[in-house]
Amino acid sequence: MELLGLYYYWVFAVLLMIGFYAVIAKPNLIKKLIGLSIFQAAVFLLYITMGKVEGGTAPIFQDGVTVYSNPLPQVLILTAIVVGISTTALGLGIVVRIKEEYGSIEEHDIQKRDRR
């Protein structure tokens, strides 16, 4: 049981680093943004995991329930998800403009053109 509980945190670590790998190793800018959103999702998972209380239920009051999970991480992450999509959209906008100006969204091509 103890180890099964830790599994949530291990998945957090693995997802975080899968996303990070895509950001640092993949030359394609869209792939980097996808990696960034996996990274972001991993952080969301960490927060929500920490807010869980054993035997609790969603923090919506109802009769006959005494244990509720912590609402605070949920509030933070709920807004973070919407902010995340807005900033991702901004990133995609920049990628589209880069494609138009450089004719490519591969890191190598862009750096090559910049050096010229």
Residues 87-116 that bind other proteins (CB under 8 A): 87-90, 92-97, 99-101, 105-109
Position among 54, 64, 114, 116 found at the interface with other proteins (CB under 8 A): 54
Are the beta carbons of 11 and 90 closer than 8 angstroms? no
What's the rounded Cα separation, in Å, for the pair 20 and 16? 6
* CA–CA gap between residue 30 and residue 106 (Å, rounded): 9
The Cα angle at residue 36 between residues 84 and 110, in degrees rounded to 5 = 115
Secondary structure class of 21 (helix, strand, coil): helix
Write each residue from 18 to 47 as x if it is in contact with other proteins (CB under 8 A), else as -, in one continuous string. Answer: xxxxx-xxxxxxxx-xxx-xx--x--xx--
Minimum distance of other proteins from residue 23's CB (angstroms)? 9
Size of the site for other proteins (CB under 8 A): 90
Two structure tokens written together for 7: 């599994």
Nearest to 35 by CA among 16, 22, 17: 22
Cβ 116 to other proteins shortest distance, Å: 17
In this chain, which of 36, 64, 68, 115 binds other proteins, going by CB under 8 A?
A: 68
CB of 115 to other proteins, least distance (A): 16
Q: How far is the CB of 9 from other proteins (least distance, A)?
A: 4
Q: Is 65 in the site for other proteins (CB under 8 A)?
A: no
